[in-house]
Structure 1
Amino acid sequence: MIKEIQSSETYLVRQEVLRKGKPIETCYFEGDDAETTMHFGIELNEKIIGIVSVYQVNSQLFDIENQFQIRGMAVLNEFQGNGFGSQLLAEAENYCTSQKASVIWFNAREKAVPFYKKSGYQTKGDSFEIPEVGIHFIMFKIN
């Protein structure tokens, strides 16, 4: 059900869920095509309904090497609440573990914080706003 996909296959879901009403060009994230970046998608009836991307990126907030950032996790609205997000998060975590990640971190939208806390992530610092996207928190898990 979950498979590795190309960065370009994430754009439609990113646009629908994360960049609603914005041009498709806003769905390309820096590092999407790096050799160390992985993209995963959940397919249902031959349509990608959920995505997650994993980048090998260090944050200055953590004094640990081999950090991985989860980014662009999204499930189409009509499929949310069915466990697909949890499956994607588990796939991303498994990949990070296979790469011997020391810490997994990301910027979580305010409304997604409870979802990530259920999976053992914690917030770091105060909330901040990403212009035209909304309020976010840094979240992390030591792996």
Structure 2
Amino acid sequence: MTNPRVDWVEYLEWSHQQVDVPLRFRTHVTDLERADGAFRLHLVENGVPAIITARKIVLATGVEGTGGPFVPADFDAVPVHRWAHTGHAIDFDGPAGRRIDIFGASTSALDAPATALEHGAATEAEAVDVGR
């Protein structure tokens, strides 16, 4: 059985190797401000305050950073037991043996079907990027 926390760290390390961006663990951004055409980030790293300057930043806040899970109005007519959102707990054993369709615009659109397949969903699953 895999450990999701270990898997996540391995993914971060792989990403680091691919794009050569330093990783900072146990770090929280407490403030962000513009400074002379760049950004000044106020951090707490391992409990120690620090300030760094960057020309560009990426705020990868995930679904929580976009205001929460988004479900298109088209799903209002579909019974709740017939769909799931990756922002909520999902019973991946439910679709065992059945074909599923995935609608998404982020990594969860890849992670969810992979997990469903690991739990026995039919292999004809189809991913569709619907944007937002």
Same fold flag (TM > 0.5):
no
In terms of fraction of residues, the more strand-rich structure is 1
Structure with greater contact order relative to length (CA < 8 Å, sep ≥ 6): 1
What is the TM-score of this pair, normalised by structure 2? 0.31
Computing the radius of gyration from Cα coordinates, the structure with the larger value is: 2
